[in-house]
Amino acid sequence: MAEKELLDQVRSKADIWLNSNINEESKQEINRLLESDETELIESFYKDLDFGTGGLRGIMGVGTNRMNIYTVGMATQGLSNYLKEQFWGNKEIKVAIAHDSRNNSRLFAEKTASVFSANGIKVYLFEDLRPTPELSFAIRHLGCQSGVVVTASHNPKEYNGYKVYWEDGGQIISPHDKNIIAEVKKIKGVDEIQFDDALKNVEIIGEHIDNEYLKELKKLSLNPTIIKNQKDLKIVYTPIHGTGVELVPKALKHYGFENVTIVEEQKPPDGNFPTVKSPNPEEPAALELALEKAEEIDADIVMATDPDADRVGIAIKDNNNKFVLLNGNQAAALLINYLISQWKNYNKLKGKEYIVKTIVTSELLKDIADKYDVACYDVLTGFKYIADIIKQKEGSMSFIGGGEESYGYLAGEFVRDKDAVMSCALLAETAAFAKEKGKTLFEELIDIYIEFGFYKEKLVSVVKKGKSGAEEIEQMMDNFRNKPPETINDSNVMLIHDFEKQKTLDQMSHLRYEINLPKSNVLQFVLKDGSKISIRPSGTEPKIKFYFGVQEKIENREDFEKIDHLLNEKIDNIIKSLGIEK
């Protein structure tokens, strides 16, 4: 599209907004853009903010391509229309709404409540910020048909988002995701939104739901006596200015941990996240203040939750008494191994138990499950698919736990999304259990490696911005799909899993097998030496992601550093073999 044509189109969309029923503040900002900021005008109006399979996420500001009360309102109007269509026979349709600490989150939550209310839908709105997993719990606890949490997870401070949940407490999946998108697209303008500023169908909720959630969380504890013995376990916790401050300290206290130090500088909820570049517990920089405090008090474990408290980063002391960050696979292995082994210890395994992991998560979790004859289900990337398995198996099998490599974990069935509050409590219990045996969590992890094999993982994201970048990513996927390598790092490619074609090709027998999962643009190569390489474009960012998993035998703790170095070299050689530019 020519630049003049694009600008004319953008000005036309801006004029439509100016002549619609928007507030004076928004009109003034649009006029400012029209008069003096052509670049920002284009960015704000050149397209409509996509309502994707999970909801909305974008930069805050005025315009059709921004997160604001009107794009949020249109999304909610479309969702309201779909709910009324789906549950037309219900005497009452109910939804729950929560929000995180981001700028404008409370405003967006209240406007969401206003639209639902205007459409005759009963709303339960949390009184203040609450973790995303509590929203998942509240939906089922209150018998709601849907729910919304206003959050942009760990995105930079300029962003906000809007995630939609269904009556099972999980994020929306097919067919509801596509059907809701279709309804949202039918809302063509601001004037189609119904608002109820009186909030006549809105009930404020808070402490009662907190208490019910914590009561269920306490039931997951497997060794309260050991916690009592190790109640002084030194825990450093940071909410990174997010919602975790509401429930994580309460959950730890509920479990019986009495020596919890909160990082004071990061305790106040603040959407500007002033002490970090990014409020992402996957990034070491986000844990710097917590690690300083941990070294100062000689802590046993460090925990950091993201702004909506559904993911947690963990740090523990290594063999040299230095704090190291665990990746998501390592934390998941520690947690799953603890849960299953203790279910076994207390004779809770009856042959109908299972765990769930995503296809890019470490195979170590499956090995642990296999030892105890516990089923392990693989699902596509995204915790909503783990929630869907729990829904499918409800009543026939018992869910022990699940996890994904991107720092999200869950146990029990009363929450249907990754839960950092729960994870903090259970990982603290795992640390207490290890300490009771005279071991550190690091030693516990190495012992898992000695038993099952030393698994090492790494994620490499290659950023390709703009239209040309998107085309380049598409071409890379086509090349790997249509001209797959026969060997990688001198190891034969044994299996090719193509989740887009829903087929597995056995390179040795040349037989093909069905993949019984939804279509997804993901490729996996499984090598003769046990290595696994997964490739997929990001659904939310201009990047292509490469997940590497390698393994090696390890016979004793003293060999850890040597084998760790060997596996790092192996991953580097695989990266070179594939010609990936980091």
Q: Based on the domain organization, do 444 and 462 belong to the same domain?
A: no
**502 phi-psi bin (left φ>0, alpha ψ -120 to 50, beta other):** left
For residue 504, give its domain range.
454-578
Confirm whether 153 is a catalytic residue.
yes
Q: Residue 472: in which H helix or E strand, if any?
A: helix 466-482
Q: Flag whether 295 is in a domain.
A: yes
C-alpha closest to that of 291 among 313, 258, 269: 313
| pLDDT over 60 (residue 1) | no
Determine the average pLDDT of the residues in 545-559: 96
C-alpha closest to that of 420 among 328, 325, 545: 328
Q: Which of 166, 185, 205 is the last residue of a domain?
A: 205
Q: Which residue has the tokens 């989150």?
A: 105
Residues in contact with 354: Cβ distance below 8 Å, sequence separation at least 6, in sequence order: 369, 374, 375, 376, 377, 389, 393, 397, 398, 399, 400
- For residue 569 the two structure tokens come to 């070299």
CATH assignment at residue 129: 3.40.120.10
SS3 239: coil
Q: Based on the domain organization, do 155 and 246 belong to the same domain?
A: no
Q: Flag whether 387 is in a domain.
A: yes
Q: Based on the domain organization, do 485 and 413 belong to the same domain?
A: no
Q: Flag whether 60 is in a domain.
A: yes
- Gyration radius of the chain's alpha carbons: 24
Q: DSSP assignment of 491-558, as one string?
A: EEEEEEEETTTTEEEETTT--EEE--S---S-EEEEETTS-EEEEEE-SSSSEEEEEEEEEE---SGG
| pLDDT over 90 (residue 169) | yes
Q: Flag whether 58 is in a domain.
A: yes
Q: Based on the domain organization, do 489 and 515 belong to the same domain?
A: yes
Determine the average pLDDT of the residues in 195-219: 97
Q: Flag whether 571 is in a domain.
A: yes
Q: Based on the domain organization, do 507 and 441 belong to the same domain?
A: no
Burial class (CB in 10 A: 0-12, 13-18, 19+), 201: buried
- For residue 194 the two structure tokens come to 């119904």
CATH assignment at residue 496: 3.30.310
pLDDT in the model for residue 282: 93
Burial class (CB in 10 A: 0-12, 13-18, 19+), 28: exposed
Task: Identify residue 91 by its one-letter amino acid code.
Answer: K
Q: Flag whether 40 is in a domain.
A: no
Confidence of residue 274 (pLDDT cuts 50, 70, 90): very high
- Helices vs. strands in the chain: H and E counts, helices first: 18, 23
Q: Flag whether 5 is in a domain.
A: no
Burial class (CB in 10 A: 0-12, 13-18, 19+), 269: buried
Q: Based on the domain organization, do 251 and 376 belong to the same domain?
A: yes
d(CA 204, CA 307): 22
Q: Which residue has the tokens 């009363």?
A: 414
Is the Cβ–Cβ distance between 450 and 324 less than 8 Å?
no
pLDDT in tens, 482-501: 999 999 999 999 999 999 99
Distance linking the first and last C-alpha atoms of the chain: 32
Angle between helix 420-436 and helix 441-452 axes, rounded to 10 deg: 90
Domain count, the chain: 3
Task: Please name the residue ranges forming H helices in 119-243.
Answer: 132-141, 176-186, 207-218, 224-229
What 8-state DSSP symbol labels residue 286? Answer: G
pLDDT in tens, 222-264: 999 999 999 999 999 999 999 999 999 999 999 999 999 999 9
Q: Based on the domain organization, do 200 and 327 belong to the same domain?
A: no
From 114, 136, 146, 153, the catalytic residue: 153
Q: What is the pTM of this model?
A: 0.95
Residues in contact with 161: Cβ distance below 8 Å, sequence separation at least 6, in sequence order: 55, 56, 57, 58, 67, 150, 151, 152, 153, 155
Q: Based on the domain organization, do 447 and 554 belong to the same domain?
A: no
| pLDDT over 90 (residue 465) | no
Q: How far is CA 314 from CA 53, 232, 325, in A?
A: 29, 18, 6
| pLDDT over 90 (residue 469) | no
Q: Which of 433, 451, 469 is the last residue of a domain?
A: 451
SS3 233: coil
Q: DSSP assignment of 63-102, as one string?
A: STTSBSHHHHHHHHHHHHHHHHHHTTT-S--EEEEEE-SS
pLDDT in the model for residue 61: 97
pLDDT in the model for residue 573: 97
Confidence of residue 192 (pLDDT cuts 50, 70, 90): very high
pLDDT in tens, 435-461: 999 999 999 999 999 999 999 999 999
SS (H, E, C) 152-180: CCCCCCCEEEEEEEECCCCECCCCHHHHH
pLDDT in the model for residue 311: 97
d(CA 113, CA 98): 10
pLDDT in tens, 357-378: 999 999 999 999 999 999 999 9
Q: What angle do CA 214, 218, 220 make, to 5 degrees?
A: 125
pLDDT in the model for residue 373: 98
Q: Based on the domain organization, do 239 and 188 belong to the same domain?
A: no
- For residue 195 the two structure tokens come to 């608002």
Q: Which of 451, 469, 489 is the last residue of a domain?
A: 451
Q: Based on the domain organization, do 468 and 485 belong to the same domain?
A: yes
Name the residue with higher pLDDT: 507 or 192: 192
Is the Cβ–Cβ distance between 366 and 336 less than 8 Å?
no
Q: How many CB atoms lie within 10 A of CB 188?
A: 10
| pLDDT over 90 (residue 326) | yes
pLDDT in the model for residue 53: 78
Confidence of residue 2 (pLDDT cuts 50, 70, 90): low
Q: Flag whether 26 is in a domain.
A: no
Pairing of strands 375-379, 353-358: parallel
pLDDT in the model for residue 455: 98
d(CA 284, CA 141): 36
C-alpha closest to that of 255 among 420, 136, 436, 428: 428
Q: Based on the domain organization, do 516 and 430 belong to the same domain?
A: no
Q: Based on the domain organization, do 359 and 259 belong to the same domain?
A: yes
Determine the average pLDDT of the residues in 553-566: 96
User: In whole numbers, what is the pLDDT of the chain averaged over residues?
Assistant: 96
pLDDT in tens, 108-123: 999 999 999 999 999 9
Q: How many CB atoms lie within 10 A of CB 55?
A: 25
| pLDDT over 80 (residue 539) | no
| pLDDT over 80 (residue 83) | yes
- For residue 408 the two structure tokens come to 């999200």
